[in-house]
Amino acid sequence: MKHWIGTWSASPMNVWPGDAVLYGFHRQTVRQVVRVSTGGERLRLRLSNEYGASPIRIGAATVALAAKDGAVDAGSIRQVTFGGERQTDLAPGAPLLSDVVDLAVPDLGQIAISLYFPDFAPIETYHYEAQQTAYISEIGDFAGAAELPVQQTSTSRYFLSAVLVESGPDSGSLVCLGDSITDGFGSTVDGNARWPDRLAERFAKSGRLSGIGFARCPDPGVHRLA
């Protein structure tokens, strides 16, 4: 029987003083690129407001195969729904799992998740050390657009904590526990050069990646305490 496994993750964390993180988004679209480990025909997204004190309104969400510089393959854009609805609220102190999305993603494939925030969305839950560019739009809902009018970029994750794929009965996830080195601290931005990424590549080269998802669960605060 098929079941869901984690193919990518970023540990949700609260905002630390002095992080110089963005304060929030207002009527903007945020597009975040993720390289999965094992692929699949169907996926689900896990969003998180676990450190938030107020609900976060999601006006629209999409997932697509990523292209260059924040663009996506137009033919692959899929609407993401939550309980059958395009709009939803991320409850304070809680995660949220999307409905199933039919999108074929290959092993080590890159997808782009776009979230539109129609109201002010204060950043209280995020992941500081993404080592991946997040593209933040001008004012407007561009979740369904192939090209994003980029106003600014960031190298943190926002409200996105995991991607799951449907896989076979003998599949599972390999969880990489560690400190900020596991998070990729100091590695090339957009290079997918974290050691869990390299391990997934070795599995793929040996033909053993299929049905094994790699999830990173580092302690994002360790390097700050050093």
pTM: predicted TM-score of the whole model, two decimal places: 0.92
Let me know if 177 is exposed, middle or buried by CB neighbors in 10 A (0-12, 13-18, 19+): exposed
Considering only CA atoms, give the Rg of the chain.
16
Q: In angstroms, rounded to a whole number, what is the distance separating the alpha carbons of residues 87 and 58?
A: 6
pLDDT band for 223, please (50, 70, 90 cuts). Answer: very low
pLDDT of residue 20: 61
Residue range 1-10, pLDDT digits in tens: 888 999 999 9
Read off the pLDDT band of 225 (50, 70, 90).
very low
Phi and psi angles of residue 129, each rounded to the nearest 5 degrees, phi first: -100, 80
- Average pLDDT over the chain reads 90
Written as six digits, the tokens of 48 are: 């998180």
Reported as a single tens digit per residue, the pLDDT across 11-41 is: 899 988 777 678 999 999 999 999 999 999 9
The residue ranking higher by pLDDT, 215 or 122, is 122
CA dihedral defined by 52, 222, 31, 97, rounded to 10 degrees? -50
pLDDT digits (tens, 9 = 90+) for 86-116: 999 999 999 999 999 999 999 999 999 999 9
DSSP 76: G
Query: CB-based contacts of 163: which residues, under 8 Å, 6+ apart?
Result: 6, 7, 8, 9, 34, 36, 43, 44, 45, 46, 111, 113
pLDDT digits (tens, 9 = 90+) for 142-198: 999 999 999 999 999 999 999 999 988 887 887 887 778 888 888 999 999 998 889
User: In sequence order, what E strands does the chain have?
Assistant: 3-9, 13-14, 24-35, 40-48, 56-58, 60-65, 78-79, 88-90, 95-97, 101-105, 110-122, 125-127, 134-139, 150-154, 157-158, 160-167, 172-178, 212-218
